[in-house]
């Protein structure tokens, strides 16, 4: 049997969210490792931190997209 399963928009968004979270954790570890070094390039560190912030924004947008609005 060859079952063809297409992912829903929600499943795709959740998979993308998990990938972004993983990338965010990796960046966090890279920033920590770079910060621990004596001869750290501040420019490289700034770029990693900026990239991490951009990922955080993407994660927040995806979480908002996945989570339904609830009228209180």
Distance CA 63, CA 11 (A): 12
Q: Tens of pLDDT along 28-66?
A: 999 999 888 877 788 989 999 999 999 999 999 999 988
pLDDT band at 3 (very low <50, low <70, confident <90, very high): low
What's the chain's length in residues? Answer: 72
Phi, psi of 67 (to 5 degrees): -80, 120
Q: How many helices (H) and strands (E) does the chain have?
A: 2, 0
What is the 8-class DSSP label of residue 5? -
Q: How is residue 33 written in tokens?
A: 């490792």
Give pTM, 2 decimals. Answer: 0.76
What is the 8-class DSSP label of residue 10? H
Residue 2 pLDDT exceeds 60: no
Place of tokens 């890279």: 30
Q: For position 52, what pLDDT does the model report?
A: 97
């Amino acid at each position: 049997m060859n079952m063809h399963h297409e992912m829903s928009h929600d499943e795709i968004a959740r998979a993308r969210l998990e990938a972004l979270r993983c990338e965010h954790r990796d960046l966090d570890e890279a920033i920590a490792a770079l910060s621990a070094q004596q001869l750290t390039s501040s420019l490289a560190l700034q770029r990693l931190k900026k990239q991490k912030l951009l990922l955080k924004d993407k994660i927040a947008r995806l979480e908002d997209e996945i989570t339904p609005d609830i009228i209180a």
